[in-house]
């Protein structure tokens, strides 16, 4: 049994874990079964997945010292006898098995914390969806694997061929030899070592942390830009319970809106989110008079980056929640994103890396600074737009209908919106704190109405399926 | 919004709460629907239960300071707007919806901890059981209500009349004016105040705690009796995950075995449990050579108790797991219980109260002494036999089939067996730590085989339904 030390970034996700700020990510994947599927199709699949299965890293790794999450050093060890019935579960929807009931069940499953005495992930095969459909919900702790890598592994375990009926699921795949994790150098010890590595280690750790804490406290810090996020109910302390809602749209519809409005796909996503949040917060009597500010992770190449490749950065943009009319709102968003991009282009690599660290380690650093959910936020909501598989994928003949990512709400960020493209669709996952944001599932409804409204204002036809 | 201080005993259940030692009790109640039930019978019931419902104490109480479970003072406050969709939930079984699937789902629901930011209870209405049946699973924190009172409230909310279709469920019933909780004097402050009150306050608290710790360490302490429990896998540290299994028998069958064997109903329960554990532990290569010792809560009237009423005491008895043949095993159990009863009759009221405290506060006191799950146990397993409703009960025409109690495993006591009588049946609930006791669900199977074996040995006919 070999032990491997956790990477610094992964350790910070352990340090941040609490019953309220659970650091697991996940995804929901609904499937249409093949036309020739027997009634026990899904049950047979689960039986087969569980029988004599061999798990490969990272899916068979568990913490060596699961009772001391704040330990300065952590190791993964390979679990000799993983409890596969614990890790791979069957669930069912109560009647009528519609999208609402699916959302309720997945919200509930996402609200329980992982047990680090087992490998910290679970996969649920959910039966009882309308029309004989089923879904796979998977959650995994961010210390074990990041969402991007997980999605890549998942896509590897699906097939573009509807007639391929033998492929195993992701956790039974041998590790990808191209995995970057395997090539990483041994990480340094401890919490400050972790922060240091994360920030590329050139500077004194205390200085970095001080700067970041200062940037949290000072809304006019130069890396933040001229915008200032208002106080909002989205930015308080959170509870442990989650609510998850989903929406799926046609990608070409969104692209047509972007073209008609003169902006990017991302601008349309932001403007629609703004419309959605404007209505949601108005109904709670909690709409700030100043526009909400979104933080958007983006791929950037900074001006002083001589080498190729992308760096993950982020930008802040207005959601124009103070604007009433849909086209004017889109215009306001476009003005804001253009300014943010110009500013980002003017930033040094160092500032971008610092900003990325802030984005990647929100809870760890906010715990350090003690400000999370208590001070004025730098931004009100994180909105991610992730490219996904372009071709339709199948699992044993069952067609993957959608890919809904599930990210991490934390203290100070009670809502997260992630959308992912897949096979000509754009799939939205809204995840948030159930207790501080009541009726969160309405976000999906309001988004649908905002799409119709903006389409009509831009004179873009609404596809029948979205009406 | 009125605040009420927690009773001392209730506070100890808060102090004992951890992710591994969750202090909630529960119950599983399967129902047969009325013959004229529409397809959406259960869904309609849930909709009605949730709409415009008024909750009464204790069901609308939540902790005033839910983030500080070890606070020396706790108060319940009435939640103004209970989240009824959070408290009253719908669930469904995956196919084939048999008893095994029901056990899996209920085990999983029982493995999650309550959120003290809400009233600390949940009720799940579970559809998808074979034959159009359904089940109600309820869990509630022991600090809010004890299992005995909960069962009484639940029985009040059911009807002996199958044609009564309007009765509300337990959480919508006005409080019983006879409730003892309402008449209690204001409790003393803090942890030591709680211990003191629990022990009737006559003695110095430090002395009491010292005596109890000594009794944990010294297996020959006079209140323990001559028996000594062996080290056993049942008595280690536990994890957070539970497994629950059930069995139902005819009460007259058990009484016939008791009569044929010359013992009590309880002796038969113990002998059968002994047979079950003997086989279960043998298969794990973990059967101690010395017999397992059970702790059995009993109603006793001590010899120096001048007043009427019952006091809750307990006795220790051998499960005769070292005996191979069923009738000899029953004889060995009877010898042991007779000796225990004689000893109990010879005990002072003070010793009985002390023993009761030990029984009622296992985790709190074991945490104080630091010995739980690490020292030789005083007993290996707790087996409770609780009298339940004698008449068949109905909920809106649906017949209650069984009542399966779910108790609390703790560090040092990984398994709990509780049986409850109901309408001519005897209903066993086996609950334990899933991670330290693998294949726990086999206990139910082995119990069935032990019943058949003892019946044949005693020449008592086995009812067809139990074969």
Which residue in the set B19, B95, B118 is minimally distant from A127, CB to CB? B95
Which two structure tokens, joined as six digits, stand for A143? 């210390």
Q: How far is CA B408 from the centre of its chain?
A: 6
Q: Is A122 on the interface with B (CB under 8 A)?
A: no
Of A40, A94, A241, the CB nearest to B90: A94
Q: Does A89 touch chain B (CB under 8 A)?
A: yes
* Distance, CA of A242 to CA of A431 (rounded, Å): 7
Is the pLDDT confidence value at B162 over 70?
yes
Does the fold of domain B197-466 match that of domain B3-177? yes
Whether A94 and B93 lie within 8 Å, measured CB to CB: no
How many CB atoms within 10 Å of residue A305?
14
Compute the average pLDDT of residues B444-461. Answer: 97
Residues B166-178 have a mean pLDDT of: 76
**Closest partner CB to B435 (pick from A117, A127, A128):** A117
Give the residue from A45, A91, A92, A115 with the most B CB atoms within 10 Å of its CB, the best one to mutate. A92
Query: Distance between CA atoms of B313 and B151, rounded to whole angstroms?
Result: 20
Average pLDDT over residues B411-423: 93
The helix/strand/coil state of B232 is coil
Which CATH topology does A211-390+403-466 take?
Chloramphenicol Acetyltransferase (3.30.559)
Q: How far is residue A420's CA from residue A426's CA, in Å, rounded to a whole number?
A: 6
More confident residue, B367 or B8: B8
H helices then E strands: how many in chain B? 14, 16
What 3-state DSSP class applies to B377? coil
Tokens of B52: 């415009």
* Confidence at residue A349, expressed as pLDDT on a 0 to 100 scale: 60
Please give the Cα distance from B252 to B250 (Å, whole number): 5
Q: Is B142 assigned a catalytic role? A: yes
* A91 part of contact set with chain B, CB < 8 Å: yes
DSSP A94: P
Q: Which of A361, A381, A294, A413 lies closest to A142, judged by CA?
A: A361
User: pLDDT for B211-265, tens place per residue?
Assistant: 544 544 444 433 444 457 899 999 999 999 999 999 999 999 999 999 999 999 9
Q: What are the strands of the beta sheet with B75-78, ordered from one edge? A: B3-5, B75-78, B61-63
A312 C-beta neighbours (distance < 10 Å), count: 15
If one counts every other C-beta atom within 10 angstroms of the C-beta of residue A142, the result is 24
Q: Which residues, 6 or more positions from B97, have their beta carbon under 8 angstroms from its beta carbon? A: B128, B129, B130
pLDDT value at residue A266: 95
Q: pLDDT tens digits for B185-218?
A: 444 455 455 555 554 433 433 444 445 445 444 4
Residues 6 or more apart whose CB falls under 8 angstroms from that of B204 comprise: none
- A3-183 belongs to which homologous superfamily? Chloramphenicol acetyltransferase-like domain (3.30.559.10)
Which residues make beta-bridge pairs with A442? none
Q: Do A92 and B95 touch (CB under 8 A)?
A: yes
User: Nearest CA of chain A to the CA of B127: how many Å?
Assistant: 7
Assess contact for A31 and A401: CB atoms under 8 A: yes
8 Å CB contact of B89 and A108? yes
What gap in Å lies between CA B400 and CA B297, rounded to an integer? 26
A127 contacts on B by Cβ (under 8 Å): 94-95
User: Does A86 contact B241 at a Cβ distance shorter than 8 Å?
Assistant: yes
pLDDT at B166: 82
* Average pLDDT over every residue of B90-114: 96
Nearest alpha carbon to residue B335 among B257, B255, B263: B263
Angle between helices A190-198 and A8-16 (to 10 degrees): 120
pLDDT in tens, A317-337: 999 999 999 999 999 999 999
- Kindly state the percentage of chain B with pLDDT values over 70: 77
Say if CB B19 and CB B114 are below 8 A apart. no
pLDDT band at B177 (very low <50, low <70, confident <90, very high): low
Residue B29 to residue B136: CA distance in whole angstroms: 5
Domain B197-466 falls in which CATH fold? Chloramphenicol Acetyltransferase (3.30.559)
Range B271-275 average pLDDT: 98
Beta strand extents in A222-380 (DSSP E only): 242-250, 293-300, 311-318
Looking at beta carbons, which residues of chain A come within 8 Å of B241? 86, 115
Q: Where are the domains of chain B?
A: 3-177, 197-466
Q: Is B92 close to A95, i.e. CB distance below 8 A?
A: yes
Confidence at B2, pLDDT banded by 50, 70, 90: low
- Residue A64: per-residue pLDDT: 94
CA dihedral B11, B16, B20, B25 (to 10 degrees): -50
Query: Chain-wide mean pLDDT for chain B?
Result: 83
User: Please, what is the Cα angle at A401 between A396 and A405, to 5 degrees?
Assistant: 110
List, for chain A, all residue ranges whose pLDDT scores fall below the cut of 50: 1, 180-188, 191, 199-210, 212-213, 215-226, 302, 305-311, 359-360, 362-364, 367-369
Contact B90 A92 (CB under 8 A): no
Of B94, B108, B113, the CB nearest to A127: B94
pLDDT of the residue at A212: 46
What is the average per-residue pLDDT within B44-49?
90
Sign of CA dihedral B166, B172, B176, B180: positive
Q: Which sign, positive or negative, has the C-alpha torsion A273, A274, A278, A281?
A: positive
Domain B3-177 has CATH 3.30.559.10: yes
Residue A86 C-alpha, separation from nearest chain B C-alpha, in angstroms: 9
Q: Based on the number of CB atoms within 10 Å of its own CB, is A105 exposed (0-12), middle (13-18) or buried (19 or more)?
A: buried
Residue B176 sits at the chain A interface (C-beta within 8 Å): no
Distance, in Å, from the CA atom of B271 to the CA atom of B289, rounded to the nearest integer, reads 17
d(C-alpha B318, C-alpha B275), whole Å? 12
Highest averaged pLDDT of the listed ranges A165-179, B36-50, B58-72, B437-451? B437-451
- Given B24, B110, B141, B142, which residue is catalytic? B142
Coil, helix or strand at residue B120: coil
Task: Give me the residues of A, 2-41, that contact B with CB < 8 A.
Answer: 19, 40
pLDDT on residue B404 = 95
- Distance linking the first and last C-alpha atoms of chain A: 55
């Amino acid at each position: 049994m070999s032990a491997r030390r956790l990477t610094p970034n992964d350790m910070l996700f352990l340090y941040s874990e609490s019953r309220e700020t659970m650091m697991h990510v996940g995804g929901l994947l609904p499937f249409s079964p093949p036309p020739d599927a027997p009634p026990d199709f899904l049950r047979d699949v689960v039986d087969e997945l569980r029988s004599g299965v061999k798990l490969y890293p990272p899916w068979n790794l568990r913490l060596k010292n699961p009772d001391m999450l704040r330990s300065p050093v952590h190791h993964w060890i390979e679990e000799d006898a993983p409890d596969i019935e614990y890790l791979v579960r069957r669930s069912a929807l109560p009647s009528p098995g519609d999208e609402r009931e699916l959302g309720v069940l997945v919200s509930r499953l996402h609200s329980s914390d992982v047990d680090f005495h087992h490998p910290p992930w679970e996969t649920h095969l959910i039966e009882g969806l309308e029309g004989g459909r089923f879904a796979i919900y998977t959650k995994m702790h961010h210390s074990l694997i990041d969402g991007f890598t997980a999605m890549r592994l998942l896509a590897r375990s699906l097939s573009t061929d509807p007639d391929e009926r033998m492929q195993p699921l992701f956790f039974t795949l041998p590790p990808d030899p191209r995995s970057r994790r395997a090539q990483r150098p041994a990480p340094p010890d401890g919490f400050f070592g972790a922060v240091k590595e994360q920030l590329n280690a050139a500077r004194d750790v205390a200085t970095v942390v001080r700067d970041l804490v200062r940037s949290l406290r000072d809304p006019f810090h130069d890396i933040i830009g001229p915008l200032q996020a208002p106080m909002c109910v989205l930015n308080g302390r959170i509870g442990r319970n989650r609510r998850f809602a989903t929406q799926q749209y046609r990608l070409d519809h969104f692209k047509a809106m972007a073209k008609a409005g003169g902006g990017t796909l991302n601008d349309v996503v932001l403007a629609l989110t703004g419309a959605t949040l404007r209505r949601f917060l108005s109904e709670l009597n909690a709409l700030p008079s100043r526009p909400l500010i979104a933080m958007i992770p983006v791929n950037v190449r900074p001006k002083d980056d001589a080498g190729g490749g992308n760096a993950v950065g982020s930008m802040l943009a207005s959601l124009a929640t103070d604007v009433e009319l849909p086209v004017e709102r889109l215009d306001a968003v476009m003005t804001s994103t253009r300014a943010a991009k110009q500013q980002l282009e003017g930033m040094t690599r160092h500032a971008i890396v610092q900003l990325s660290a802030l984005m990647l380690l929100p809870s760890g650093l906010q715990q350090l600074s003690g400000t999370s959910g208590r001070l004025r936020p730098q931004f009100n909501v994180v909105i991610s737009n992730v490219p996904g598989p372009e071709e339709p994928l199948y699992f044993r003949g069952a067609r993957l209908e959608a890919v809904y990512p599930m990210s991490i709400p934390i203290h100070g960020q009670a809502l997260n919106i992630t959308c992912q493209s897949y096979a000509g669709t754009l799939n939205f996952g809204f995840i948030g704190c159930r207790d501080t944001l009541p009726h969160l599932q309405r976000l999906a409804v309001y988004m649908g109405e905002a799409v119709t409204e903006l389409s009509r204002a831009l004179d873009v036809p609404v596809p029948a399926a979205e009406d």
